[in-house]
Amino acid sequence: MMEETQPKISSGLEGIYIQESKICKVDGINGRLYYRGYSIETLNDNSDYEEVCYLLLYGRLPKKDEFEKFKSDLRNERTVSTEVMYLARSLSKKMHPTDVLKTAVSALASEDEELADNSPEANARKAVRLISKIATLAAAIERARNGKEPVAPDPSLSHTDNFMYMLTGSKPSSGQSKLINTMFILHAEHSSNASTFTTLVAGSTLADIYSSVTAGMAALKGPLHGGADEAALKMMMNIGDPGNTEQYIEDALAGKQKIMGFGHRVYKTYDPRARILRSYLEELRNDKDPETRRLIEIAIRAEKLMIDKLGNSKGIWPNVDFFSGPLYVWAGIPPELFTSIFAASRMVGWCAHLLEYWTNNRIFRPLEFYTGELDLKYVDIDKR
């Protein structure tokens, strides 16, 4: 028998291109991020999450009348059926919020009359429903965890302001509004990351859009992906006092522990999203809330030490997850909800990639190189 030649194995598919795309450019060498050709800084300074959603889904910025219709479509899809809401709320005290959200998003398929219609137009409409309804579900799940009734959506509010209103029962302050809008923009899209790739793998089988994004949400939950900001905040909580920061980090590094929120598979310099969030830390460094000040001081001190030790020498810099935690806490959002917000933000990215991939679909079927034994002799169970 001719022996197979050992192929080159790309662990984690590192360095492997899976398709051509016009949605997102991640320039890891220069620390730049683009959505449809627009830098993340430009969009954060000039746009809002709803307009970014339109851009990602349709490939360009909308005209005024197009944008008004798109916002109206999003507002009209905010309501979730009684059945799906009951399912989400009944599971909310038994499971992690992200698991409840994943289950509820999957259940949304049961009430979509266009589920079997795989035309591009129908799938675009389903994407709008998913973007809108996942925010409603995320807010309702968190309220249910705390024994509170859901808050009905307010059609007068923007997508992100309405999310905060449904979550807290109050309209967000101007500071909260600005921050949450930024968070949703920064998390809306990031090329072929683990959850997006998982969405595409499921979608490549021609599974429906609900099944595909549910697969993506399952991938998102892991602490190496969507759960990283929650893990980073947990580390800051463990540090406790800002004065303990340097020793904690030194001890962790000496023990070869991973410092969550630092390093990235693609970025070899400062994550541009983290740079945007870093500016918020400076604005809030003297906030009246002592918990906010404490967490921000820990984050800033940890950042400095990590950059001094590993930034320029090994290319390990802060990523977006590291600064998210303290800012979410300031906005009144509990750690258990971080990944759900990530999912609500990223829904548009998953859908945009799926719609693009379906225009030239090919099922994913990678290879693996077998290194086990062959032609073994079967031994009866009594003689083993």
- CA proximity to 350, closest of 190, 224, 135: 190
321 assigned to active site: yes
Measured CA distances, 70 to 55, 146, 164 (Å): 11, 33, 20
Q: Where are the beta strands (DSSP E) in the chain?
A: 24-27, 32-35, 38-39
3-state secondary structure (DSSP) of residue 102 = helix
β-pairing, 32-35 vs 24-27, is antiparallel
Question: Which residue shows structure tokens 């009348």?
Answer: 65
**CA–CA gap between residue 127 and residue 286 (Å, rounded):** 41
Question: Which residue shows structure tokens 């001719």?
Answer: 2
Q: Which helix (H) or strand (E) holds 291?
A: helix 290-306
Q: Which of 264, 289, 375, 382 is catalytic?
A: 264
Query: How many Cβ atoms are within 10 Å of 210's Cβ, its own excluded?
Result: 19
Q: Which of 48, 229, 271, 321 is catalytic?
A: 321
**CA–CA gap between residue 225 and residue 101 (Å, rounded):** 17
**CA–CA gap between residue 279 and residue 74 (Å, rounded):** 30
**CA–CA gap between residue 81 and residue 111 (Å, rounded):** 8
Backbone angles phi, psi at 306, to 5 degrees: -65, -40
**Length of the chain as a residue count:** 384
Backbone angles phi, psi at 262, to 5 degrees: -125, 140
- Tokens for 273, please give them: 């999203």
Helices (H), 169-227: 174-186, 194-204, 209-220
187 assigned to active site: no
Measured CA distances, 187 to 49, 199, 340 (Å): 10, 16, 11
- Tokens for 363, please give them: 């099922």
Q: Which residues are tagged catalytic?
A: 264, 321
